[in-house]
Amino acid sequence: MPPKRKSTDGAAGSSKKARSAVDHAPAAALASAVLAGRDTYPIPEDDADVRALLVQLSQYAKYLEGQVDAGTNASGSGGVVSVRQKTQEELEDAAEKVRKAAQSGIKKQMKWRPSCKSNSAKWTYDGICPDPAVFGVLMGLDGPPKFKQKKFTKDEFQDLIGRCEGSAMYNTLYITGDHVNVRWSDTGEFKFSGTYGISY
């Protein structure tokens, strides 16, 4: 009689738990940083570092696919999978990570250009926020965004994202103009755009 094989159910269960407990915030921040600096994001010289970044982004992509599939199954007939709603604290923590990445990305773009004298230098920040509820918290909304594009006053925007200032040629650079444009896509991509210059 052949010996009984050891059950691997426990190991598989703990493995699944470990995978589901992975913190994807660094990968989300990485994706935002890459989108913000499409042409300038520094690429590591070491192949192992490049491979690690690709693995991190790939794991994040698979995680997002799983979230989408789970949402589809939960809403379909006979589906038994449900997506746990984030607590308000979790939403605020996630929004804070996106906020910091956005503020940093905007500041990096605020460099001296001749158009700064007329307060018309342009800046644009592209980011990604897969959870609409998190973006709603980020933008001070009562829930997920219901707009594709919206204008926030300069002060409203900086109350939400934080003060964005740069410095060059003995001048402090500020966000200028009456408003900042905010675009949102159902795919989770968003864009902030506006102008900056030497006058607040």
Q: What is the pLDDT of residues 155-164, one digit of tens each?
A: 999 999 999 9
| Whether 32 contacts 98, CB under 8 Å | yes
Q: Please, which residues bridge with residue 175 across strands?
A: 196
Task: Report how far apart, in Å, the C-alpha atoms of 134 and of each of 20, 60, 61 are.
Answer: 19, 17, 18
Q: What is the pLDDT of residues 101-135, one digit of tens each?
A: 999 999 999 999 999 999 999 999 999 999 999 99
HSE (CB half, 13 Å, CA atoms) of 196? 25
**Mean pLDDT of the chain, nearest integer:** 82
Q: What is the DSSP string of 21-85?
A: T---HHHHHHHHHHHHTTTTPPPPSSHHHHHHHHHHHHHHHHHHHHHHHHHHHHHSTT----PPP
Owner of token pair 């589906």? 79
pTM of the complete model = 0.61
- Using 50, 70 and 90 to split pLDDT, how confident is the model at 47? confident
Residues with Cβ within 8 Å of residue 140, at least 6 apart in sequence:
156, 159, 160
Judged against a pLDDT cut of 70, whether residue 68 lies above it is answered with: no
Note the pLDDT of residue 15. Answer: 44
Note the pLDDT of residue 7. Answer: 44
Q: What is the pLDDT of residues 75-107, one digit of tens each?
A: 444 444 445 788 999 999 999 999 999 999 999
Owner of token pair 């995680």? 63
Judged against a pLDDT cut of 70, whether residue 195 lies above it is answered with: yes
Using alpha carbons, select from 183, 180, 72 the residue that is nearest to residue 128: 183
- Using 50, 70 and 90 to split pLDDT, how confident is the model at 191? very high
Note the pLDDT of residue 1. Answer: 53
Note the pLDDT of residue 77. Answer: 45
